[in-house]
Amino acid sequence: MWIPLFLQRQAAARLAMCCLLLPGATVAAGLELNKSTISLHEAITRTIEHNPDLQAFDYQLNAQQGRVQQAGLAPPPELSFELEDLLGTGKNKGVDSAQATLSISWVIERGVRQRYIDAARAGSDFIGINAELKQLDAAAETARLYLVSLAFQARKANADKTVQLAIDTIKSVSKRVNAGKTPEAELSRAEAELARRKLQREDIDHELRSANRRLAAQWGAVTPNFSHVLGDITQLPHVASFETLKSQLPQNPEFARLLSNRLLKKAELQLARAQGKPSWRMSAGLRHMNNGNDQAFVAGITIPFGKRTRNSGRIAEAEANLAAMNSAELATRVRIETALFVMYEKLQHSLHVIETVRDAIIPPLEQALTETRRAYKLGRYSYLELRSVQAELLDAHNALIEASADAHRNLIEIERLTGVRIAQPSAPLKQPNR
């Protein structure tokens, strides 16, 4: 890419440092770093360097650099040769009285060329800002797709545990059936439940492969060269207050684009005003007169007259475009601050859900499952009661995964809005035993 390497790394780092993907998360996820795994930082770096949609900015910048080069070229001087008083009559018969003038002329631009250069350079800066915004958008989309894969990995791990739980249940039911304490119908129901759980795990596996494929497409890969993404989706961030986040909004790249666009509009206005000034033309040369074989120096200047400027329409247009930037900046500020508030509220709700499920729902359900298993073995509870408690616990674990995914999704959006990392990671959640 045409963006310098340090800018690529900076754009990647803004989202690659999300709290859900720290080195410690690799250990928590139980994954070994090898060629079949990929980190978020690596995924975003690949996207920045190889995303097909980002390649278009190479050509746009090259084209704009050509405009800058062209704007720096001054009008070439003109060499002219004139013959007067020849092939006439009387004294001017033939070429005896001819006068030959060789002169060079040039245009006095009166500052127009510098305005062309300023406008072209401002256009290059604007394209550069748009390229960085496009990179950040691509990085954010990669982070979202990475989160999707990470969520399906967590769902798959949970599905594996549910399958194992169903297998353990079949063993318990089989013992009671063999002992004649439970009808065989309960065993059949347990076997059917195992088949359903295996089917759900297979569905998740298909979704995970599709999610990895969509993630790899971010850097133009048709086939993923990884099977796992690194991270612990249940790792919670410590988030700053809304007022602190609000103070970070000037870091939003949208404001950088507005500033760059303002400079571009200002340069266009200055160019329009400079173009409204008529160019002067100077000339100088030598004249040869045949009748006396004499030479003389000649010079001239051409100054247009009439209206002071013939570019009033373009000047008015440029002034209106520059004035419109004030309204655009205010509208952008209101839009971004509103979006930040909405995202922050969603994040706080997700964090509250996570805390409630983790601390107030899962532990008592695990205790209830332990007691229910014991009671089932003693014949005090039926299979239906055992199955009900199992389902409630599995639903709680799934709710924890979904709330964690929502929290990270909102965190990505908040970091995209503020343009800086605003979350500090805490220790990964301890996974309750089942």
Tell me, what's the pLDDT at 345? 92
pLDDT of amino acid 361: 94
Instruction: Say whether pLDDT at 292 is over 80.
Output: no
Same domain, 83 and 159: no
- The residues near 37 (Cβ < 8 Å, ≥ 6 apart) are 31, 226, 227, 228, 229, 230
Same domain, yes or no: 45 and 136: yes
Cα–Cα distance for residue pair 192/196, rounded to 1 Å: 6
Give the best-scoring range by mean pLDDT among 20-34, 273-287, 366-380. Answer: 366-380
Under 8 Å between Cβ of 107 and 281: yes
Whose CA is closest to 170, among 386, 395, 350, 392?
Answer: 386
Q: Which domain holds residue 200?
A: 5-74+109-276+311-425
Q: In this predicted structure, what is the pLDDT of residue 12? A: 45
Q: pTM of the prediction?
A: 0.67
Domain count, the chain: 2
φ, ψ for residue 348, nearest 5 deg: -60, -40
Please tell me whether residues 24 and 13 are part of one structural domain.
yes
Segment 301-318 mean pLDDT: 66
Strand-strand pairing, 78-84 and 37-38: unpaired
Residues 362 and 301 grouped into a single domain: no
Q: Can you say whether the dihedral through the CA atoms of 234, 240, 241, 244 is positive or negative?
A: negative
- Residue 170 located in a structural domain: yes
Three-class SS of residue 89?
coil
Closest CA to 128 of 211, 57, 202: 57
Examine residue 64 and state whether it is found in any structural domain, yes or no: yes
CA 407 → CA 242, 381, 392, distances in Å?
Answer: 15, 38, 22
Q: Is residue 433 part of a domain?
A: no
Residue 108 banded pLDDT, cuts 50, 70, 90: low
Model confidence at 161: pLDDT above 80 = yes
In a domain, 431, yes or no: no
In tens, the pLDDT along 386-419 reads 888 988 999 999 999 999 999 998 888 888 777 6
Does the pLDDT of residue 425 top 70, yes or no?
Answer: no
Residue 99 has pLDDT above 80, yes or no: no
The answer to whether position 128 is within a domain reads yes
Per-residue pLDDT at 69: 67
Co-location of 101 and 130 in the same domain: no
Residue 434 forms part of a structural domain: no
User: Do 24 and 123 sit in the same domain of this protein?
Assistant: yes
Least confident span in 7-11, 74-78, 153-157, 315-319: 7-11
Contact by Cβ (8 Å): 411, 239: yes
Residues above pLDDT 70, as percent of the chain: 63
With a cut of 70, say whether residue 357 has pLDDT above it.
yes
Within 179-289, residue ranges assigned H as helices are: 184-216, 242-247, 253-275
Q: Is residue 348 pLDDT above 60, yes or no?
A: yes
**Strand 280-289 vs strand 99-108: parallel, antiparallel, or unpaired?**
antiparallel
Distance of alpha carbon 216 from its chain centroid, rounded? 16
Q: Is residue 363 part of a domain?
A: yes
**Region 326-340 average pLDDT:** 79
What pLDDT score does 429 carry?
Answer: 37
Query: Angle at which helices 253-275 and 112-178 pack, to 10 degrees?
Result: 160
Q: What is the β-pairing status of strands 99-108 and 294-302?
A: unpaired
90/165 same-domain check: no
Q: Do 32 and 131 sit in the same domain of this protein?
A: yes
Residue 250 has pLDDT above 90, yes or no: no
Cα–Cα distance measured from residue 373 to residue 349, given in angstroms and rounded to the nearest whole number? 34
Whether residue 146 is found in the same domain as residue 288: no
55 and 181 inside one domain: yes
Give the residue-averaged pLDDT of 32-59. 77
Report how far residue 376's alpha carbon sits from residue 390's, in angstroms, rounded to the nearest whole number: 13
Q: What is the CATH classification number for the domain harbouring 215?
A: 1.20.1600.10
211-234 pLDDT per residue, tens: 999 999 999 888 898 999 998 898
At 297, which helix (H) or strand (E)?
Answer: strand 294-302
CA dist 49 and 209 (Å) reads 23
In a domain, 432, yes or no: no
Q: Is the pLDDT assigned to residue 95 strictly greater than 60?
A: yes
Q: Which amino acid is at 333?
A: R
Q: Which residues contact 22 (CB under 8 A, 6 or more apart)?
A: 235, 425
Pairing of strands 228-229, 37-38: parallel
The pLDDT, as a whole number, for residue 422 is 44
At residue 377 the predicted structure's pLDDT band, cuts being 50, 70 and 90, is confident
Q: Can you tell me the distance from the alpha carbon of 180 to that of 290, in angstroms, rounded to the nearest whole number? A: 137
Statement to judge: residues 27 and 102 lie in one domain: no
Q: Tell me: do 164 and 187 sit in the same domain.
A: yes
67: which strand partners? none
